[in-house]
Structure 1
Amino acid sequence: MAYLYLLLSSICSLTIAHLLKVTESRNLRTLNTLTVNYLVAGVFALFVGYTGALSATLSSHITVLLIFCAVVGAFFIGNFVAYSKSVHANGVGITIAAMRLSLLVPVVISIYWYAEYLNAIKIIGIIGVFGAMILLIPKKNNIKIGSISASWLLVGIFVLTGFADASLKIYEEEFSTNLNELTFMGLVFTAAFVIGLVISLFQKGKLITRQEAILGTAIGIPNLYSSIFLIYALGGISGSVAYPVVNILNVLGGTLLGLFIWDDTVTRKQWAGIGAAIIAITLLL
């Protein structure tokens, strides 16, 4: 059953990538669409995850928790904006591969902050991450997203996703005994919604169009359940098995989605980068 949950988690992640590509292809406003997504996901997570009064331990640290959730929410929405732009400019498979390589960030934080062991295999995996990134980054300096080169979006996704994933490790170590996963994710998504709403209010035009609302709602549920299904899977198999499997499924599925649905072009160099990414992911976990 655990492997079914991993497959469902991957399907949810690929659904998000596809819908963000749709958002960009229809020239809809990404931030506004994501704001609706986080409203839907946040309300649903808080409704399902609510367990009543906070524990005494958590109540004494509520300010720290809320600040932490706000910071994580900023990482989440910033990452998804960059992710949406990148799937449109760089392709689905390459963008997902860059996102999954960001596992390096929580690994390094786990080693230096929580004194986890770094063995020779993980060192090779870390070197592999940098090699894969070099191979994946396309020569698209002529393609601009605003004033940013499309190539730099992959670097931005790598960093932002890495810190977003690292925040989940911090939650696991510092807050998980007093706050369940759904409530935590609900607080993070709510913070991301507030940040997106405030920025959207300063934009010209209608706050939310009908198409943005529909796509945002459609993204919200798989966005939440990609994490929930992974949590379910972790209840049946170890993280050392679950994380490599789901990330490799995402890289392979994203590549196929880009090739067969969106006619993405992948160079030989980038195929090598995708292969190196799969190997590096396996070694890191």
Structure 2
Amino acid sequence: MAYVFLALSSACSLTIAHLLKVTESQNLRTLNTLTVNYIVAAIFAFFVGFEGDFVSTFVNHSSILLFFCVVVGAFFIGNFVTYSKSVHTNGVGITIAAMRLSLLIPVLISIYWYAEYLSGLKIVGIIGVFGAMLLLIPKKNDIKIGSISASWLLILTFVLSGFADASLKIYEEEFSTNLNELTFMGLVFSGAFAIGLIINLFRKAPLITKKEAILGAIIGIPNLYSSIFLIYALGDISGSIAYPTVNVLNVLGGTFLGLLIWNDKVSTKQWIGIATAVIAITLLI
């Protein structure tokens, strides 16, 4: 059953990538769409994960938890905005590969902060990450989203996604005994929603259009369940199996999603980069 959950988690992640590509292709405002997505995901997470002692737990740890969740929420929404732009510019498969390679960041934090063991294979995996990123970065410096080139979008996706994943490691080590996963994710999504809403309120354009609201609500559920299904899988199998499996599924699934549905163009160098990414991801766990 664990592998079914991993497949479902990957399917949710690929659904998000596809819907963000739709958002960009229809010229909808990504931040507005994501703001709706996060409030829907937060409400659903609180509803499913509510525990009787939640209020007292939150009060006892309010200042630490609130600050941490807002910071994590900022990484989440910043990551998804950049991810959406990169999916549109660089293609689905290449962007997902860069996003999954960001596993390097929580691995390094685990080694430095929590004194986890660095094996020879992990060292090879770390080297592989840098090699894969160099191969994946396109020669599209003339293509820009605002003032940011397509190449920098991949690097930003890598960094922001890495710190978002690292925050989950910190939650697991520092706060998991105080809050269950769904309640924590609800707080994080609430923080991301608050940040998105504040930014949108300072804009002169209409707050949220009907299309943005509908698409954001649709994204919210797979966004939440991509994490929930992974948590379910981790209840049956070890992280050393679950994480590389779901990441490899995401990279391969994203590549074929981009090719078959969105007609993404992947160069020979980038194909080698995708293959290198799959190997590096596997070695890092």
Q: Which amino acid aligns with 1:63?
A: S
Assess if the C-alpha contact under 8 Å between 2:86 and 2:154 holds in 1: yes
User: Deviation of residue 47 (structure 1)?
Assistant: 1.3
User: Deviation of residue 50 (structure 1)?
Assistant: 1.1
User: Deviation of residue 133 (structure 1)?
Assistant: 0.1
Match of 1:164 in 2: 164
Q: 2:31 and 2:56 mapped to 1: Cα distance?
A: 37
Structure 1 residues 58 and 128, CA, compared in 2 at 3 Å: closer, same or farther? same
After superposition, residues 1-285 of structure 1 pair within 5 angstroms as: 1-54=1-54, 59-285=59-285
Deviations 1:199-245 (A, max 9, x none): 01112221110100110001000000000000000011100000000
User: What TM-score do the two structures reach when normalised by structure 2?
Assistant: 0.98
Q: 1:215 and 1:225 mapped to 2: Cα distance?
A: 16
Q: 2:8 and 2:88 mapped to 1: Cα distance?
A: 24
Gaps of 5+ in 2: none
Q: 2:98 and 2:85 mapped to 1: Cα distance?
A: 14
Assess if the C-alpha contact under 8 Å between 1:40 and 1:220 holds in 2: yes
Assess if the C-alpha contact under 8 Å between 1:55 and 1:178 holds in 2: no
Assess if the C-alpha contact under 8 Å between 1:79 and 1:157 holds in 2: yes
Provide the secondary structure at the position in 1 that maps to 2:178: coil
Provide the secondary structure at the position in 2 that maps to 1:15: helix
When the two chains are superposed, the root-mean-square deviation of aligned CA atoms in Å is: 1.0
Deviations 1:160-216 (A, max 9, x none): 000000000000000101110000000000000000000011122211101001100
Among the aligned pairs, what percent are the same residue?
78
Provide the secondary structure at the position in 2 that maps to 1:142: coil
Q: 1:54 and 1:198 mapped to 2: Cα distance?
A: 26
Assess if the C-alpha contact under 8 Å between 1:102 and 1:162 holds in 2: yes
Provide the secondary structure at the position in 1 that maps to 2:24: helix
Provide the secondary structure at the position in 1 that maps to 2:205: coil
User: What TM-score do the two structures reach when normalised by structure 1?
Assistant: 0.98
Q: Which amino acid aligns with 2:84?
A: S
Gaps of 5+ in 1: none
Structure 1 residues 160 and 275, CA, compared in 2 at 3 Å: closer, same or farther? same
Q: 2:76 and 2:204 mapped to 1: Cα distance?
A: 24
